Structure 1
Amino acid sequence: MKKFYAFVIVTMLSISAIAQTTINGRVTDENGEALVGVNVIIQNSYNGTITDSDGDYSISTKETIPSLVFSYVGYKTQTVEVQGSTVNTTLSTVAVLTDEVIVSAIKAGNKAPIAYTNITKAQLKERPAADDIPYMLSLTPSAVATSETGIGVGYTALRIRGTDPTRINVTINGVPLNDPESQGVFWVNMPDFTSSVDEVQIQRGVGTSTNGAAAFGASINFQTTSINDQASARIESTAGSFNTFVNSVNASTGLLNDKFAFDVRYSKLQSDGYIDYAFSDHQSLYVSGSMLTNNGLLKMNLIYGDQKTGISWWGVPQEMLFKPEWEGDDWEPNRTYNPAGEYTDEFGNTQYYEGQTDNYKQTHYQLFYSHAVNSQFNINGALHYTRGDGYYEQYKEDEAYADYGWNPIMIGDATIDETDLIRQKWLENDFYGFTASANYRGDNYSASFGGGWNRYEGDHFGEVIWARYAGTSEKGDRWYDNYGEKTYYNFFAKVNYRPTEALNTFLDLQLRQISYQMDGIDDDLLPLIQSHNFNFFNPKVGLSYDVNKQQQAYFSVGVSNREPTRTNFKDAKGDAMSYPKAERLIDFETGYNYRSSNLSASVNFFYMLYDDQLVPTGEKNNVGADIMTNVKDSYRTGVEFVFGAKIIEGLNWDGNLSLSANKIKDFVEYSSLSDENWNPIGQKVTELGTTDIAYSPDVISSSILSYAFNSNVKMSWITKYVGEQFFDNTSSSDRMLDAYLINNLKIDVSLFPQFAKRIGLQVMVNNLMDVEYENNAYGGNYYQRDASGVDTEYTWAYYYPQAGRHFMTKLVLEF
């Protein structure tokens, strides 16, 4: 983007002190029965409470004419403007048909003794322009987002408490999203998905039982668009640096004939990225239809994503970022260098293959049904099916015929046994299953039970689409072809029991069973024939105590077990003794929450004890392949501080700070060892004792300082700090990412003309201080032994540099 924007900031408005008043009332259903546990919140504040066993509540505020928001699962949310000191309200049971019922079985309630964060629809709408999902969630506690393209678009990832994406359970409306084989989530396949999301809940640690993959560090649940009474439309257009453009159209019919509702969204995203050739060309479609009956809700979702992305996952080699010893004074760093696609032609000239791309299409079909048996009991069921097809394409130089199962050929008197070629690695998969749950709410207890059954079928194969010397190969020949089948199911039961008005106890039990088979030939032409079965029992127990209406304390302990990924298993092929074992986590959480009209604060302590955690150690199996190794003892422990403060009228400060220690006990490193002529002579084994777990910063902090000048203009100063982190498990300073502090400035302007509900303009200045930093890397070490027997260590590493100061603007039209 070649033109930048200039801004004029108006003077802050003066404010006056407001006396505090107390509001009392009772909440009942349509039959006049008291509703227990209804959330009562002062609108646009952190001040909230819940109704007691008689449906009564009491709340204090300094607002002159506040509005109260009453929300309760199974009932319609109401906003009431306060005109006196007493506000009684009746909630309609028509909300038993709302979408929140679908996720109520796996969602943590306000009494759950765990650490969680809710992100509302209003907060999602204010998200920074063009942010992918990991960056949108990166300001929550203990979260760190990474980007291959350098600007948070394209391939991005999220770690929470240092745990990688394969250990974070993700669901959409309770339906599993994690790929069953890799156990990761590829956000690039779901561009602009948050435009169709009403709420996100992040549970840190083991959390509560959910469907799909094990939560080994966190779980994230997305609740998609809910039924709205009124028709609406939203047009959103983002433009910014690096030729970044995101355009979307979103429309909702509202409730038709008190029975039907439809939502649709189409989005298109394009960007060149900061890193060379790291372009993004994505589009997505979301369609949702709902039908209400007297006691039920039938809902269908279609979520489609189509992405074409320039490969940038190799990173930038360290010698391009940091001056090597052998370089002269004229050396300069090349922060945007991308080795993917680079090759040397037959005349020795450096070329770039522009077809070096990742291509994938994925379509999710979801069908939900919820039925309210009565005001206390409801049942839910969902069917889902996901189809994915895609490949990544590479230009490869001097590839040996033998690596593709080809025979050498003769051209004249010359024997040809290698060639330049272009290959595609394909994945075609089907993922389908169902989930079900039932929920009951009594006077002093509530219970949920349910589960799910899922099956995954994945076909992995490779094709050479061009070769300089193709020999006898035919177009469409597959040099490898293997198949994976994974079937897994789970059952869970949860009970919340309140023996007294202040004390709530929690019990959560889950059973998981996994069956996984692989068959065929891998890309190294070795057989990939394996079968694995696992049975897990994951109990969780906890309690919370209301000190008073403003303060709550809690404690919980939970167990989670996790099976290895496809990569963990296939890297050990040919050596059954190297097959990885399942991992186990025991998670202890205890915390304290405080809420008032001007302050929300919490502190959470955690201790996560791992047994047989899988980490890279450099160890190889008996056929020489790198494998992930189970380490017996490792742990994460720390404290998370979260706060939100209304400093003065219009000025708010939200932030969090995570301090942690993340350690592996008795770590043993295995490194390649060569002689003075670089001939391999084995592995060097080093006992390092207690080391730091890779990608686990000791300090993570976020801050949003925002000031609303009036209802039209709001400015936010956004800060993210991530401390030093190692990118292997040796605690070596040679393989460490430096700490970084990033500041962003966001200005939101809203206008309310007669012809539209709202016109919004957002201007975002990212990395305001133009900091040079890298937020991700990978690498390792090796040793050379000289003639005298002295070993010298060397490091190899690839980094992911991030863009300096850059700009994004977003224009929104709402009708």
Structure 2
Amino acid sequence: MKKITFLFIVILLATVSGTFAQGTVTGTVYDAESNAPLPGANILEVRTNNGTSSDFDGKFSLKVTNQKGMVNVSYVGFGSKNIPYDVTNGDVDLGIITLALDNSLEEIVIVGTGVVDLAEDRSTPIAVSTIKADEIQAKAAGNVELPEILKSTPSVFVSNQTGFGDGALFVRGFDDTNTAILLNGQPINSQEDGRVFWSNWAGLSDVATAVQIQRGLGSSKLAISSVGGTVNIVMKAADRSKGGYARFLGGNDSYAKGTLAYDTGMNEKGWAFSVLVDYWRAHRKWAEGTYGQGQNYYFAVGYKPNDDHAFNFLVTGAPQSHGQRWSQSQEIIDANPRYNQHWGYSGDLDLNANGGNGQFTSDIDSERANYYHKPVANLNWDWTLSEKSQLSSVLYASWGRGGSVGPRGARAQRTEDPDGDGPLSGQIDFYNTEQENLAIAGGIGGGRTGYVRRNSVNNHQWYGLISNFNTDLTETLSWNVGVDFRLYRGDHFRQITDFHGLQGWSDDRPDGGIVTESYDSNPWAALFSFADEDQRIDYDYSENINYQGVFSQIEYAGDKFSAFFQGAVSNQSFQRDGRFESTEGASGKSDKLNKIGYNLKGGLGYTIENMHTLYMNAGFYSRQPFLDNIFNNIRTSNELIQPEVDNEDITGVEFGYRFRAGRFNIDFNAYYTNWDNRTIVSFGRLDRNPVPTPDDDSDDAFINIYDRGINQIHAGAEAEFRYKATDWLNFKGYISGGSWRFNGTTNKQIIDDDTQEVISSEDDLDLSGVKVITAPQFTTGLGVNAKIYKGLSVDGNINYYAQQYVDDPESRGLQTRNIGTIKAYSLTDLGLTYDFKFDTQSLVFRANVYNVFDEVRKQATDDFGFFFTNGTTFNASVRYNF
């Protein structure tokens, strides 16, 4: 009782003492762009609940409780500032405090300012939207991936695809193979095919300080695949402020995640350290069998020996494994939206358990899964050469290890169909599948005899260097020049992960050897444990891709007028190395192919009365083809496609208008992109004997489809606005519409994936007017944020999608034509935050509900059918900041 009384007295005294003001701090808050006052700006004495708001003229007066401290000045839609004060000798006037629009990331990018290409680095505007760390950690935490945070921006579409990290990102109708994704200036699109696997980057939502989506030509100076746009993910450096946090998050279907983070702050010798670790797991994401688990780790060291140099080294990774669900038909979704045909229970069967009905002794397992571990390390160095010149460099490396799990051989046994003769089938019955394998004479499977699971292993080593020199030639003229080097090697093969009772596997190697070793589908084990060459099956090859690029930009930036010109040129070499000796045309090293690519961009901007800005950008790209498009079959052939695949040609033009007026701002953009000489490689399935066995796909042929000489035209317009209605109520919204279509003729060739037989070939196939099916061509959305009480706020977003075209799934690999559109739909998300501050700490509660009205709708298509939205999902977290 004495201890409780003592604690109560201490808290009371602390509260009472805090009520005695030490002095008054005054000032005026202005919009940095329009030079107009900001009424209703929030002014808060840091680490207290003591605050006020600016009046109609932007002026404020705050009686502070400490003689020395800081006030935080913030305004929704603008970046906040911490301003120090000292009222020891009397009241203090802080003067005019200017706030920049929240697209500004000046205070976020601590190192790598010369290689992280952000919109703020160029005076000539671009089409851009920026999301800050607070919103990322609130809305993209836990069972929601990082790309989801971008879905409420113009011309951006995110497809869930139901598995952890399996989402896809589309910008202006272009997928992630044609949208550049940069991490602290480092390209992370696959060197082989341009894809981005978001499951490899699950930890970014915890360590990203901002995500900036630049639509169209963007501000990047690199010769990269930014046909649709550029996504800049700014990852935190070693923090210069001391502090940390602990967070626990829980969600639907037993999702749980715990996180610990700590920053030492910068000491007197210029050193700073930051560390973050977390662990997550879930029974499923939403659909059946989509289990997942993983860890995230981040470690950074910063060193600032003087004002001229700043260094930062970091290493981060997100090892994970998760079950997957492939696309489903509408008939299956109608019967059971959560259905997944690929999972079951593995392990031993205890017949006495579950009241004598039997029960398996292990957790769920899947014949379709993904596991990967991709550690990334980079070293940034910023060197201030003089008041006018800076050199910024980043040296980076990544080592990806892992792959995908899939079935091989005969079909697995299944449990009883849950709907009789309906569209669903039972779960995978791993126990009885193993019993069937054990009955095979000699214990050796192969071909259609026996069932195993294999790993399609994709290992790589990637090293790179980007360096940029920038100098101010005059007060209005700046110039920079830089280099971009990359070395990449990818190793690809298959190995057995589970024999399911067999002793070995044959008929899957060109030398006729029997494989007897299996390898765990574990992301940590995958770093060092994978099959030797004599234990690999189906295919075994490597690629070497080397890249050298130079880039330069010059920009004029006056009071009202700005202009820039930028150019880049690169050389990229490709070579394949096959290791299955007896496979004709697949062994040894292929010829090395070198391709020169380049881009040219220019733009103009003009500002009228600090409120209106007009701009135009135009550019041309000659882009090298992806490695996967230049060989007859990348898995089985060293032969280059003849005639040789040429560079793709992309021409882009865009116009924009910006309006800035205190509480309201709007951005409008119109664009036209012509993408010519494109090669598309896709996949499908054909029934070899459709008449005698219409429902049996055991004799189906997997096919590769090559469309060459394709021309696409993407044109459209988009608008985005922010409006601060009152001090406590804010709105943001967007609308975007496009016409994305094919134009002219193409050459289509269909090849049997197993035999390499040409099934059909058609020249001059006219695609004029056929719509692109990758994403909805009309989107609009509205978001609202309301402060209910001190520290308590609610927010919501609704996004509407329409005009997404569909091709006939039965015609995949044949003549592709649109047959209609996916029915328009909307998705609604809601969130609540309560931030309770006390002393120097705070406790933050956050809750999210995604797809509130449980809209399970067709969302996207691929070579095998439809993908659907997740139904209602949710999470809630509590975070203690110290």
- Classify the TM-score, shorter chain: 0.7 to 0.9
Q: Which string of whole-angstrom CA distances, capped at 9 and with x for unpartnered residues, describes residues 328-359 of structure 1?
A: xxxxx1222223358999xxxxx996364221
SS in 2 for 1:195: helix
- Whether 1:696 and 2:775 are equivalent positions in the alignment is yes
Deviation at 1:290, TM superposition (A): 0.3
8 Å CA contact 1:191–1:267 kept in 2: the answer is no
Flag structure 2 segments of 5+ consecutive residues without an equivalent: 1-26, 43-53, 62-70, 75-79, 86-90, 99-105, 348-359, 412-439, 507-512, 518-534, 686-700, 752-757, 809-814
What corresponds to 2:420 in structure 1?
none
SS in 2 for 1:488: strand
- Whether 1:807 and 2:874 are equivalent positions in the alignment is yes
Separation (CA, whole Å) in 2 of partners of 1:484 and 1:45: 58
Deviation at 1:808, TM superposition (A): 1.3
Q: Which string of whole-angstrom CA distances, capped at 9 and with x for unpartnered residues, describes residues 615-664 of structure 1?
A: 368899xx995234234432111111010001122111011111111111
- Match of residue 223, structure 1, among 220, 226, 234: 234
- Match of residue 380, structure 1, among 389, 392, 408: 392
Separation (CA, whole Å) in 2 of partners of 1:388 and 1:635: 35
8 Å CA contact 1:610–1:634 kept in 2: the answer is yes
448-457 or 118-127: which moved more?
118-127
- Whether 1:98 and 2:110 are equivalent positions in the alignment is yes
What corresponds to 2:273 in structure 1?
262
Deviation at 1:289, TM superposition (A): 0.6
Residue 543 to residue 522, structure 1, CA distance change in 2 (3 Å): farther
- Whether 1:65 and 2:60 are equivalent positions in the alignment is yes
8 Å CA contact 1:428–1:458 kept in 2: the answer is yes
Residue 102 to residue 125, structure 1, CA distance change in 2 (3 Å): farther
Structure 2 matches for 1:633-644, cutoff 5 A? 633-644=711-722
- Match of residue 757, structure 1, among 837, 841, 860: 841
Deviation at 1:268, TM superposition (A): 1.7
Paired letter, 1:65: F
248-257 or 205-214: which moved more?
205-214
Separation (CA, whole Å) in 2 of partners of 1:203 and 1:111: 14
What corresponds to 1:586 in structure 2?
651
SS in 1 for 2:96: coil
Paired letter, 1:610: W
Deviation at 1:517, TM superposition (A): 0.8
Deviation at 1:511, TM superposition (A): 0.9
Deviation at 1:204, TM superposition (A): 1.0
What corresponds to 2:600 in structure 1?
539
Separation (CA, whole Å) in 1 of partners of 2:842 and 2:804: 43
SS in 2 for 1:536: strand
- Whether 1:438 and 2:469 are equivalent positions in the alignment is yes
SS in 2 for 1:508: strand
254-263 or 597-606: which moved more?
254-263
220-229 or 262-271: which moved more?
220-229
488-497 or 190-199: which moved more?
190-199
Separation (CA, whole Å) in 2 of partners of 1:315 and 1:256: 53
- Match of residue 296, structure 1, among 305, 309, 328: 309
Separation (CA, whole Å) in 1 of partners of 2:616 and 2:249: 44
566-575 or 799-808: which moved more?
566-575
Flag structure 1 segments of 5+ consecutive residues without an equivalent: 1-20, 26-36, 48-58, 71-75, 323-332, 346-350, 400-409, 674-679, 780-796
Separation (CA, whole Å) in 2 of partners of 1:526 and 1:663: 40
- Whether 1:505 and 2:505 are equivalent positions in the alignment is no
What corresponds to 1:403 in structure 2?
none
What corresponds to 1:556 in structure 2?
617
Paired letter, 2:648: E
- Whether 1:134 and 2:147 are equivalent positions in the alignment is yes
Separation (CA, whole Å) in 2 of partners of 1:540 and 1:380: 22
What corresponds to 1:777 in structure 2?
861
Deviation at 1:426, TM superposition (A): 1.2
Separation (CA, whole Å) in 2 of partners of 1:606 and 1:717: 29
Structure 2 matches for 1:104-503, cutoff 5 A? 107-109=119-121, 111-130=123-142, 131-149=144-162, 153-211=164-222, 213-226=224-237, 228-257=239-268, 259-271=270-282, 272-294=284-306, 295-312=308-325, 314-321=326-333, 333-340=335-342, 354=366, 356-398=368-410, 418-420=448-450, 421-441=452-472, 442-465=474-497, 466=499, 468=502, 470=505, 473-476=514-517, 477-479=535-537, 480-498=539-557, 500-503=558-561
Separation (CA, whole Å) in 2 of partners of 1:88 and 1:357: 53
Residue 171 to residue 681, structure 1, CA distance change in 2 (3 Å): closer
Residue 177 to residue 69, structure 1, CA distance change in 2 (3 Å): farther
Paired letter, 1:459: D
Separation (CA, whole Å) in 1 of partners of 2:574 and 2:179: 20
Paired letter, 1:725: Q
What corresponds to 2:692 in structure 1?
none
Name whichever structure is richer in strand by fraction: 1
What corresponds to 1:652 in structure 2?
730
8 Å CA contact 1:105–1:448 kept in 2: the answer is no
Separation (CA, whole Å) in 2 of partners of 1:775 and 1:224: 30
Deviation at 1:287, TM superposition (A): 0.5
Structure 2 matches for 1:28-43, cutoff 5 A? none
What corresponds to 2:832 in structure 1?
747
Deviation at 1:239, TM superposition (A): 0.8
Q: Which string of whole-angstrom CA distances, capped at 9 and with x for unpartnered residues, describes residues 143-187 of structure 1?
A: 11112226xx43222111111111111122112212211222211
Deviation at 1:733, TM superposition (A): 5.5
What corresponds to 2:790 in structure 1?
711
Residue 718 to residue 38, structure 1, CA distance change in 2 (3 Å): closer
Deviation at 1:224, TM superposition (A): 1.7
Paired letter, 1:497: Y
What's the TM-score, normalizing by structure 2?
A: 0.73
Separation (CA, whole Å) in 1 of partners of 2:157 and 2:382: 36
What corresponds to 1:514 in structure 2?
572
Separation (CA, whole Å) in 1 of partners of 2:246 and 2:445: 62
What corresponds to 2:14 in structure 1?
none
Residue 684 to residue 555, structure 1, CA distance change in 2 (3 Å): closer
Paired letter, 1:109: D
Separation (CA, whole Å) in 1 of partners of 2:94 and 2:240: 30
8 Å CA contact 1:209–1:509 kept in 2: the answer is no
Q: CA RMSD in A?
A: 4.1
Separation (CA, whole Å) in 2 of partners of 1:105 and 1:128: 23
Q: Which string of whole-angstrom CA distances, capped at 9 and with x for unpartnered residues, describes residues 101-126 of structure 1?
A: 24455655362332112222333343
8 Å CA contact 2:319–2:373 kept in 1: the answer is yes
8 Å CA contact 1:668–1:689 kept in 2: the answer is no
What's the TM-score, normalizing by structure 1?
A: 0.79
Residue 46 to residue 134, structure 1, CA distance change in 2 (3 Å): farther
8 Å CA contact 1:237–1:248 kept in 2: the answer is yes
- Match of residue 740, structure 2, among 662, 671, 684: 662
What corresponds to 1:13 in structure 2?
none
SS in 2 for 1:194: helix
Deviation at 1:606, TM superposition (A): 0.6
467-476 or 506-515: which moved more?
467-476
Separation (CA, whole Å) in 1 of partners of 2:876 and 2:583: 50
Paired letter, 1:538: N
Separation (CA, whole Å) in 2 of partners of 1:734 and 1:397: 35
SS in 2 for 1:709: strand
What corresponds to 1:5 in structure 2?
none
Q: State the identity %.
A: 19
8 Å CA contact 2:454–2:496 kept in 1: the answer is yes
Separation (CA, whole Å) in 2 of partners of 1:391 and 1:42: 55
SS in 1 for 2:60: coil
Deviation at 1:291, TM superposition (A): 0.4
8 Å CA contact 1:23–1:85 kept in 2: the answer is no
Paired letter, 2:789: N
Work out the number of aligned pairs and report it. Answer: 713
Deviation at 1:702, TM superposition (A): 2.6
Q: Which string of whole-angstrom CA distances, capped at 9 and with x for unpartnered residues, describes residues 207-266 of structure 1?
A: 223447421111112222245443111122211112222221111111111511111111
Separation (CA, whole Å) in 1 of partners of 2:475 and 2:370: 54
Separation (CA, whole Å) in 1 of partners of 2:379 and 2:712: 41
8 Å CA contact 2:222–2:568 kept in 1: the answer is no
Deviation at 1:807, TM superposition (A): 2.2
Residue 812 to residue 62, structure 1, CA distance change in 2 (3 Å): farther
8 Å CA contact 1:154–1:280 kept in 2: the answer is no
